Structure 1
């Protein structure tokens, strides 16, 4: 007779325990959904550079704000957690979560992307960055980034020529000089003019100029003050010699492992908007640094349309064709990409 009440009490206890268990699981799921995912972002620019202070740091804060604190981007400048020329591969392997790198720092890794660097295609950071992002978005160069999740493309302003001991007025003046090259594209052009191209990461240029390892460099105006190279160079050939392509990319598994709403946060802070934001910043800095060189008494010569200049046209076209021929020889459609780059150049003209 006493067995039924006992069974009822046991059943009620079980139901109560089950209810507590379900509440505990729900609380655990809720807590889990609010956990913060840390994303380590490595780039090679100094912490005090414009791009770090005006682009990368604000971008990291916006990611955190838009995700309500569920994503936190830790920014590591000056190549402190990945080497200057391995940030892309480090992001691919997951050594870092996000990396920014110049494509030209890994020779032969992004041959189609670097077609956008060729002379005559662009005269601003905004235009080159827009070209690169367009060529990625329409699939022309996307295959070169399939092992990562690309966030956005951007580019320097036109790379010009700077030297320590003489003004370069014609290609003949470069003969015998040792000129720092940022990429294979610029290297081919420098070599076509009789100079010796020397490959150096941006962080190593200052000491190389100091020690006479190089006589000059090909570098955009906005980066001259960033790396303090304006302290050592006195002669400048203000000419759109080349452009440098750059990217910010993310580890693919890290991105794919995020919940859909956090992927959306990343997506909403990627692409053309970021590319143009960098371009606007650097195009403004370009003018400031050029004027600063004039104001301190440096010698500056302007060659603003070198492909129509009788001295520069031939060597620049020769260097361009050599690069296209080399890429075609890899079995890639360099000529086709070049035509698409020219179309993007027109569409992106500022």
Structure 2
């Protein structure tokens, strides 16, 4: 008995220690599983810099709202400055599931969104708020929604009017563009620049600073928000404020990722989609346009204002030529461009602020 008791106690202690260890490991594993099930991470890719208002006041604002309303069950990881996806590949990367959410300009993928890009045409928008309302209306009414069937669209947005920005070269009339290499963000702006006598150059906005520095470009066509966000106002000093286009922007989500969410989390995403977010984005872009215009004026930049180019005897012809060329090219694809253009005009009038 004296020898058996210590051995029995030792065995009992060993079994007890092992049992506690297994229990502890199991609990840790269960907690990890619960944590993993409760938290959905969404990777969001875009090309604007992290310092931009687009990143901070639109995308980060959206992410924080989604995280808060999901009570932390959704976490959004944002990758700005094209660190996760190049601008011209972002939409496809969302569709394929390379990223969960992405935002880019439709103009970066020529021919992919021909009906949506009708909204770029001159005369349709005089502010980002109007542009965003018009785009979201066209989507909600089913006019352009067929172009986004391979993703789950969150909201549409767009920039304020894009103008012309140069260095020591005032652009007052179309002939002033002759021989100049002007960056245009899409086929539509390229048509108009070419009709005016310039040479359109297609480059993503992330390449414009160095291209302008090196003389690859003579000028840039961009809205004021983008000019300031990408610090292009540092290199330019002459600006023609002519609203001859506005750029549409899409914010969309991978369909499978959305479908994988439980219903209550889908509702969180849905509650932060559509017209409400489009309106938020419009106000941000308009405020930034006003800010950077004021800063350029304060540093003594030259400002040339052509507020109604479709009524201007010099600018009317190239703008109308560029518009008709785009509509005819789109019709040639078998698409009813004229009807969409009419719908866009109706939405523009309804959204006019």
TM-score by length of 1: 0.90
Q: How does 1:39-188 map to 2 (within 5 A)?
A: 39-188=42-191
Between the aligned partners of 2:68 and 2:59, the Cα distance in structure 1 is 14
Do 1:165 and 1:215's aligned partners in 2 also have CA atoms closer than 8 Å? no
Answering whether residue 233 of structure 2 is matched by residue 230 of structure 1, we say yes
Instruction: Determine the structure 1 residue equivalent to 2:221.
Output: 218
Residues 269-327 of structure 1, C-alpha deviation per residue, up to 9 Å, x if partnerless?
00111111111111112122112111111111110000000000111001000000000
Between the aligned partners of 1:153 and 1:307, the Cα distance in structure 2 is 26
Instruction: Determine the structure 2 residue equivalent to 1:312.
Output: 315
Q: Aligned to 2:227, what secondary structure does the other structure show?
A: helix
Between the aligned partners of 1:66 and 1:33, the Cα distance in structure 2 is 18
Between the aligned partners of 1:128 and 1:331, the Cα distance in structure 2 is 26
Instruction: Determine the structure 2 residue equivalent to 1:256.
Output: 259
- Deviating above 2 A after TM superposition, structure 1's stretches of 4 or more consecutive aligned residues are 30-34
Between the aligned partners of 2:151 and 2:66, the Cα distance in structure 1 is 19
Do 1:101 and 1:247's aligned partners in 2 also have CA atoms closer than 8 Å? yes
Do 1:99 and 1:250's aligned partners in 2 also have CA atoms closer than 8 Å? yes
Instruction: Determine the structure 1 residue equivalent to 2:23.
Output: none
- Could you say what the CA RMSD is over the residues aligned between the two structures, in angstroms? 1.4
- Aligned residue-pair number: 324
Between the aligned partners of 1:226 and 1:286, the Cα distance in structure 2 is 10
Segments of structure 2 that go 5 or more residues without pairing to the other structure are 1-26
Between the aligned partners of 1:82 and 1:317, the Cα distance in structure 2 is 35
Segments of structure 1 that go 5 or more residues without pairing to the other structure are 1-23
Residues 240-265 of structure 1, C-alpha deviation per residue, up to 9 Å, x if partnerless?
02000001100000001111111100
Q: Aligned to 2:103, what secondary structure does the other structure show?
A: strand
Do 1:161 and 1:241's aligned partners in 2 also have CA atoms closer than 8 Å? no
Q: Aligned to 1:325, what secondary structure does the other structure show?
A: helix
Instruction: Determine the structure 2 residue equivalent to 1:275.
Output: 278
Counterpart of 1:326 (choices 311, 329, 335) is: 329
Between the aligned partners of 1:149 and 1:276, the Cα distance in structure 2 is 19
Do 1:155 and 1:246's aligned partners in 2 also have CA atoms closer than 8 Å? yes
Answering whether residue 26 of structure 2 is matched by residue 35 of structure 1, we say no
Between the aligned partners of 1:69 and 1:292, the Cα distance in structure 2 is 39
Instruction: Determine the structure 2 residue equivalent to 1:15.
Output: none
Which piece of structure 1 moves more, 102-111 or 288-297?
288-297
Which piece of structure 1 moves more, 327-336 or 66-75?
66-75
Query: How much does 1:166 deviate?
Result: 0.6
Q: Aligned to 2:88, what secondary structure does the other structure show?
A: coil
Between the aligned partners of 1:138 and 1:44, the Cα distance in structure 2 is 29
Which piece of structure 1 moves more, 209-218 or 281-290?
281-290
Which piece of structure 1 moves more, 90-99 or 285-294?
285-294
Between the aligned partners of 2:274 and 2:306, the Cα distance in structure 1 is 33
Instruction: Determine the structure 2 residue equivalent to 1:20.
Output: none
